[in-house]
Structure 1
């Protein structure tokens, strides 16, 4: 067997170990979340619907238990994201150059912060507005929602915000490695906005209001990303000029 084959097998073996460690971590996180279900449920339910006179109903015998399992699994995945990211990057890092590793070390913690910021923004700002709008369509009807469907709506609404808040990091990474600059993102603005609306339609519930509530902040993030790209380019240009003067 050739050295190349052995190297490939070694990589596959290491990948297998990484996947096993991630799965075990998620399972442990799921068990912890299941045990702390009441606290997790309080976060999901109470703040968004507080003061809106909404009643949650159990419409099926297994509804609460199945939903508890789903929430615990998702929570287990979320709380182990730092460990999962560390495992993935530890597998990828050896293949990167020194300057690329530096960017990864900067981007990895910022990614977790932006994900949390996106979820918090959706939770406290967008979700209450969405609930107020949709439930308000019932006029004088008393809102009585299925527990499982309400939880699915909340989670399906919030998680995409954590993902789309990664946009500035993606832009910074592309600019740093020289794959694009602010002029590229500025020139492609209309295409980006079109893609943002498509992604918003896929990630949010099937209604125009939810899509607009997501697309609006993401478009703002895109504009901020262009500004960040311009600042990075300006800084690099100034550093190059200083190097030329010194030389």
Structure 2
């Protein structure tokens, strides 16, 4: 394809992806308010960690049995509806726009590269989903700590915008952080991050993981920090073992396996396609003979 054809192809695939996100956003806005296909509304699903708090830790206006967030601005509910709808639309339409992205990249890859990229995208999606699920489960304990840390002297009137910002931030941070083992394995496969470095830097890397968990979690509560730090440590160790197995396999396949840097490798006994080469012995050598004197060269005058 020419450069202009590539641009047209990219524009077509971008248009398909954008249309899919718009349709997904419409579905997300409707799902946020109503039940779809027998499922609870998206608003109920997302506010479940907040509603799981005891009634004494929540601000109840009117009916104590109801679980509602509060808004302090006229357009805050509309803004929140659009924000959650767009986030849901991106997730719901992800098979379409990821497929368009894959279709644009695939023609430029070799067969083994397509296979490697397919595994990369599949494992990365599963890791992101696992991180998001863990963040959703941890949010209840994190919220309970945040709204009861004052000892009951005051009650938190949690705004919907603040709550959903905290929820989306946790989902994204946990999901992206869970890509750590995939990044380690990728760097190890290309030779940038061998297992020897991982083993030498293990303590420092684990310390850095907990520092990252303390800084990255938006709530700054101990539950989300420990959950992120411990889960990333487990994933780090699993990735380290995968890197160790890969490096051992590469080392066994290397022709210089078991040799030090200043030691020469043994010469092969076989001669390749020509067959085995027999060792040279003294009996196989012919007696030396003097070299005969070459015939006199003809001069230019002899030739002419």
Superposed counterparts of 1:148-187, under 5 Å: 148-187=161-200
2:109 matched residue in structure 1: 96
The 1-side partners of 2:254 and 2:246 are apart by 12
2:268 matched residue in structure 1: none
Q: Which of 132, 139, 143 does residue 131 from structure 1 map onto?
A: 143
Q: Deviations over 1:205-242 (max 9, x none)?
A: 2736455543342233222211222233345566789x
Q: Which of 10, 15, 20 does residue 20 from structure 1 map onto?
A: 15
Instruction: Report how many aligned residue pairs link the two structures.
Output: 236
Corresponding residue SS for 2:72: coil
1:45 matched residue in structure 2: 47
1:244 matched residue in structure 2: none
Q: Does 1:227 align with 2:222?
A: no
Which is further off, 115-124 or 98-107? 98-107
Change (3 A) 1:98 1:185: farther
Corresponding residue SS for 1:145: coil
Shift of 1:66: 1.0
2:279 matched residue in structure 1: none
Calculate the aligned-residue CA RMSD, in Å: 2.8
Which structure's CA Rg is the greater one?
A: 2
The answer for unaligned runs of 5 or more in structure 2 is: 34-40, 60-68, 256-271, 273-304
Q: Deviations over 1:76-130 (max 9, x none)?
A: 1112223222222222222223222211122222222221111111111x21221
**Contact 2:146/2:221 (<8 A) preserved:** no
Q: TM-score when scaled to structure 2?
A: 0.67
Q: Which has the higher helix share?
A: 1
The 1-side partners of 2:6 and 2:105 are apart by 10
